[in-house]
Structure 1
Amino acid sequence: MSTWTTVGTNERRATLMRRAQLLAGASVAYNTIEAVIAITAGNIAGSSALVGFGLDSLVEVSSGLVILWQFRHPMPESRERTSQRLIAVSFFTLAAYLAVEAGHALISGAQPESSPVGIGLALASLAVMPFLSLWQRRTGRELGSAAVEGDGTQTLLCTYLSAVLLVGLVLNATLGWFWADPVAALIIAAVAAREGWENWQGDDCCTPAALTTPRAVTDVPAVTTHCAEDDCCTPSATELDHDASTKVDRGT
Structure 2
Amino acid sequence: MVVTFRVLAAYVTFEGVRSLVGGEEPGTSVVALVLLAASIVVMPLLARAKRHVGERLRDPLILAHAAETRICVLLSISTLLGLGLYAVVGWPWLDPVSGFVIAAFSVHEGREAWEGELDEDDEEET
Is the pair's TM-score, using the shorter chain for normalization, greater than 0.5? yes
Does residue 203 of structure 1 match 2:118?
A: yes
Identity within the alignment, %: 36
- Per-residue Cα deviation, 1:77-100 (whole angstroms, up to 9, x for no partner): xxxxxxxxxx11111110100111
Unaligned runs of 5+ in 1: 1-86, 208-225, 228-235, 237-252
**Residue of structure 2 equivalent to 1:46:** none
**Residue of structure 2 equivalent to 1:192:** 106
Native 8 Å contact 2:26 2:95 kept in 1: no
By how many angstroms is 1:144 displaced?
1.0
From the superposition, tell whether residues 170 and 97 of structure 1 become closer, same or farther in structure 2 (CA, over 3 Å).
same
Does residue 147 of structure 1 match 2:72?
A: no
**Residue of structure 2 equivalent to 1:116:** 30
Question: For residue 204 of structure 1, what is the amino acid of its counterpart?
Answer: D
- For the aligned residue pairs, the C-alpha RMSD in angstroms reads 1.7
- Per-residue Cα deviation, 1:163-189 (whole angstroms, up to 9, x for no partner): 011112222234322111211110110
Between 1 and 2, higher relative CO (CA 8 Å, sep ≥ 6) is seen in: 2
Asked which structure has the greater CA Rg, the reply is: 1
Residue of structure 2 aligned with 1:181, choices 56, 77, 95: 95
Native 8 Å contact 1:129 1:155 kept in 2: yes
**Residue of structure 2 equivalent to 1:36:** none
Unaligned runs of 5+ in 2: none
TM-score by structure 2 length? 0.87
Q: Aligned equivalents of 2:3 and 2:82: distance in 1?
A: 27
